Amino acid sequence: MLTKKEKYNVAVVGATGAVGQEMISGLVERDFPVDRIRLLASARIPGRKLKFGGEDVDVEVLGEDSFHGIDIALFSAGGGRSKQFAPIAAKEAVVIDNTSAFRMDPDVPLVVPEVNPEDLAWHKGIIANPNCSTIQMVVALKPIHDLVRIKRIVVTTFQSVSGAGARAVDEMYHETQALLDGKSYETSVFPHQIAFNALPQIPQSDAFAENGYTHEEMKMVNETRKMFHDESIMVSATCVRVAVDRGHSEAVNIETEKKITADEVRELLSAAEGVKVIDDIGNQLYPLATQAAGRDEVFVGRIREDISCPNGIDMWVVSDNLKKGAALNAIQIAERLIASL
């Protein structure tokens, strides 16, 4: 049971990965009240250390005894590791899990703090972080849903290669250079060329579901319904990997129960927590992945009324998938938890 303290002992599981390192830097950037940090990884790398607040911290091997004395455990080490170790950690600490292991478990709250912070109240030791593509979409849509109720969402994502890990980013860079040099390149992360390309299958290692959708696309369907507490919302997603190193972009179309104008959406989202509206088409200003990289906000632009649907709105939503789409959201959950004590 988490109790109020001046400072908390925090564990980062998967500390050597891209999201784990974002969690470490995010704790420092946001001045989270850390007393002691424990950095954990699934494999031992002799002498491996990572910086935390200017100090070198040993990376320890993840094990069943890793959570003694820990108050909050941030997990980002893969679904298999989470299923194995999160229940163990939850006996000692509150677990905030960035994997898909517990997202649709009815006993585990799935939370974006700007969207459904009230669900934190019923956690039983484990809290799930949603999928990166879902997080940025629901942050942009929840204020609209609260005002005029969204009936239907059609979304196409353009997801950066960093969502597939550091090896994927390296593959894109090396493949791009090889092709520019007129050389061939044998892919190992992606099933097809990613440089100068777009792949309509995420994750690339997964088979398609029986309905023809990918598991990434079905995550957006199911996670949105769970966080909005509305199983009747119709959601259709197409998730695409594109040759961008960092930052996910989404073309989002919604149909609402009551009419809302584009100007009303701009005004509503301009005042929404965690959202920054950039929508000045006269000066070619709209959200860009390059602009969102390294930033905390969810950026929204190209807001317009759907000319094919009386109660339709189109928009363009961009966010840093490693920050708000993963590490930052987990830290914000922890911040809300300790603020509620």
- Nearest Cα to 136, choosing from 268, 300, 278, 301? 300
DSSP reduced 3-state for 257: coil
Q: Is 309 noted as a catalytic residue in this protein?
A: no
Where b means 16+ CB within 10 Å and e means fewer, 144-180 reads bbeebebbbbbbbbbbbbbbbeeebbebbeebbeeee
Helices then strands, each counted (H, E), the chain: 8, 14
Tell me how far the alpha carbon of residue 233 is from its chain's centroid: 21
Q: Given 123, 145, 239, 248, which residue is catalytic? A: 248
Residue with tokens 């090396």: 174
Q: Is 239 noted as a catalytic residue in this protein?
A: no
H/E element holding 18?
A: helix 18-29
Q: What pLDDT, on a 0 to 100 scale, did the predictor assign at position 203?
A: 83
pLDDT in tens, the chain (341 residues): 799 999 999 999 999 999 999 999 999 999 999 999 999 998 777 789 999 999 999 999 999 999 999 999 999 988 899 999 999 999 999 999 999 999 999 999 999 999 999 999 999 999 999 999 999 999 999 999 999 999 999 999 999 999 999 999 999 999 999 999 999 999 999 999 999 999 999 987 777 999 999 999 999 999 999 999 999 999 999 999 999 999 999 999 999 999 999 999 999 999 999 999 999 999 999 999 999 999 999 999 999 999 999 999 999 999 999 999 999 999 999 999 999 99
* Backbone dihedral angles phi then psi of residue 38, each to the nearest 5 degrees: -125, 120
- Nearest Cα to 322, choosing from 10, 114, 17? 17
Find the radius of gyration of the CA atoms of the chain: 20
Domains of the chain: 8-130+326-339 (3.40.50.720), 134-321 (3.30.360.10)
- Nearest Cα to 227, choosing from 329, 113, 96, 83? 113
Q: Given 123, 132, 145, 239, which residue is catalytic? A: 132
pTM, two decimal places = 0.96
- Nearest Cα to 228, choosing from 98, 115, 67, 101? 115
What is the secondary structure of 99-110 as a DSSP string?
A: SSSSTT-TTS-B
Residue 117's contacts (CB-CB under 8 Å, 6 or more residues apart) are 111, 336
Q: What pLDDT, on a 0 to 100 scale, did the predictor assign at position 46?
A: 73
Q: What pLDDT, on a 0 to 100 scale, did the predictor assign at position 69?
A: 97
